[in-house]
Amino acid sequence: MIAMGTERAQIREELSSATFDLLVIGGGILGTSVTWMAAQAGLRVAMVDAGDFAGATSSASSKLVHGGLRYLQTGNVRLVAENHRERRALAADIAPHLVKPLTFLVPIYKGGPHGAAKLGAGVFLYSALSVFGDGMGKVITPQQAVSKVPALRTGGLRAAAVYGDHQMNDSRVAVMTVRAAVDAGAIVLNHAEVVDLRKTGGTVTGAELRDRLDGTEFGVSARLVLNATGPWVDHLRRMEDPDADPSIRLSKGAHLVLRRHEPWKAALTTPIDKYRVSFAIPWEDHLLLGTTDEAYEGDPAEVRPTEADIAQILDEAGHSVREEQLRREDITYAFAGLRVLPGGPGQVAAAKRETVVTRGKGGMLSVAGGKWTTYRHIGRHVLDTLAHLPGRPLGDDLADILPVVPLPGLASPDAVAMRLWTDRERGARMDPLVARHLATHYGSIAFDLARLIREDPALGERIHPDGPDIWAQALYARDHEWAATVDDVVRRRTTLTVRGLDTADVRAKIAQLLGEALKP
């Protein structure tokens, strides 16, 4: 097995010794999607990120793959229908091992911003736009609602509207998308920071980089450079042109993860006013609450949930969730990300969530925006834009992209979990909770982890006794998923951080595991 440090050196050599058709800077939702699509189209493509893949906002989402019920309020029926198509494609054909269905309730309280008739009509239309693929939207009684969400506040509850959507673990979807891009021929490297842009006759023709792990400096040449750095998009545009005007503005969204006291069979979408909602979502055996939406003008690297954010999220969740489920001592994790919005006046909450593509003086393309539900569609749209640029920098011959290319590990998670549990002798069977966890985070790739455990049974032990993550995941993350730092493992390759289980002892042991790969 190639040691991590050696492998990074080989990747740096490959990046610096070739001229790529496309260099994508930024490994979030947009960068990974465009890289995946470009590789499928036959382009020689490289992608680098200053941090980890999906290390910023792309792993700080609400973990939803959804049509966007609230978009119906603005009359954007076409957008909801498009979202539904992509949502169902992800759940049925692209990543059924990573994207799972989830029922949502919209509680209707006395004096609330929306009545039962309006919400009933809304969820019916919502389900109709998905061709009733998740059942028919309807209104149920308070008693039926409490049977699905036992922590639901019942005071003043008149009814609840029901609809269907999907959820996922955004970090795992990101890692699998990077893997899919590499399988299609892309070259990728995380923790590689752009320190300057290469220019030839005023045209951007690549980038100078520094490996943040060991300080090695190297360069990448490319016919076209795509700036997909999210909140840092204008920082890179100013490398190209110091006089470039701002093209975006930022909105902070914070979330909380809490221990859950009893199982939930559904999530809550609670109207706060006529336009804003609060989510309470069962996720990773915990409860995910959020989100906020406020303008942010600080350093993107310093975005954090504040005490005010935490108070707001708990207060808004309290509209529909009982107090005993909202205790501060049950918070295991709080995180915040930045939405990248088109520049312009007005409140960020009312700004359009659209993808913005601009071209700078030096020919660098900058793209900002994007969301997980439609990330494949956005990647295709951006690639099509690149393919038709004046002068055709990518050439005239791009292969057609197949309509359906699944993410690695495509399989029924139920079937994978059953196989993992039954494949060994009865006395040595995998814990059913661990088997289920591996099946829903890796799909059929979980069998690779099972092979590691057969070779070394110690890798089947839990990293922390209170969670389902096992040591085989940490080893696999290091050797096959580009995990190079402790945070890469505990925050984005496993669920240790969100569960509040990344203790000092756990982090030290993972640091030791990562360090072993660097030894000659």
DSSP assignment string, 332-355: EEEEEEEEEEESSSS-GGGS----
Q: Residue written as tokens 């006759």?
A: 201
Query: CATH for 4-57+172-247+347-388?
Result: 3.50.50.60
Residue 346: per-residue pLDDT: 46
CA distances from 220 to 58, 188, 189, 205, 212 (A): 25, 12, 12, 8, 16
Angle at 66 between CA 82 and CA 385, to 5 degrees: 45
Q: How far apart are CA 145 and CA 278, in angstroms?
A: 17
Instruction: Return the H-helix or E-strand segment holding 159.
Output: strand 157-168
Written as one letter, the residue type at 456 is D
Residue 5: per-residue pLDDT: 57
SS (H, E, C) 238-271: HHHCCCCCCCEEEEEEEEEEEECCCCCCCEEEEE
Residue 6: per-residue pLDDT: 65
Q: How far apart are CA 22 and CA 220, in angstroms?
A: 10
Residue 500, classed as helix, strand or coil, is coil
Q: Return the CATH superfamily for domain 77-168+249-339.
A: D-Amino Acid Oxidase, subunit A, domain 2 (3.30.9.10)
Q: Both tokens of residue 512? A: 């030791």
Say if residues 102 and 66 touch (Cβ distance below 8 Å): no
pTM for the structure as a whole: 0.94
Q: Both tokens of residue 400? A: 């057609």
Say if residues 166 and 64 touch (Cβ distance below 8 Å): yes
**54, 99, 42: which is closest to 373 by C-alpha?**
99
**Domain(s) of CATH 3.30.9.10: residues in the chain:** 77-168+249-339
pLDDT along the chain (520 residues), means of 10: 66 97 96 97 97 94 88 78 89 95 95 86 86 84 97 96 95 97 98 97 96 97 97 96 92 97 96 89 97 93 96 97 97 96 57 72 92 92 91 86 95 96 79 96 97 95 98 97 97 98 97 71
Residue 231: per-residue pLDDT: 95
**Domain(s) of CATH 3.50.50.60: residues in the chain:** 4-57+172-247+347-388
Residue 81: per-residue pLDDT: 84
Say if residues 372 and 65 touch (Cβ distance below 8 Å): yes
Q: How far apart are CA 313 and CA 279, in angstroms?
A: 9
Instruction: Go through the chain and tell me how many residues it has.
Output: 520
Written as one letter, the residue type at 248 is I
Residue 426: per-residue pLDDT: 67
Residue 176, classed as helix, strand or coil, is helix
Torsion of CA 403, 406, 407, 408, to 10 degrees: -140
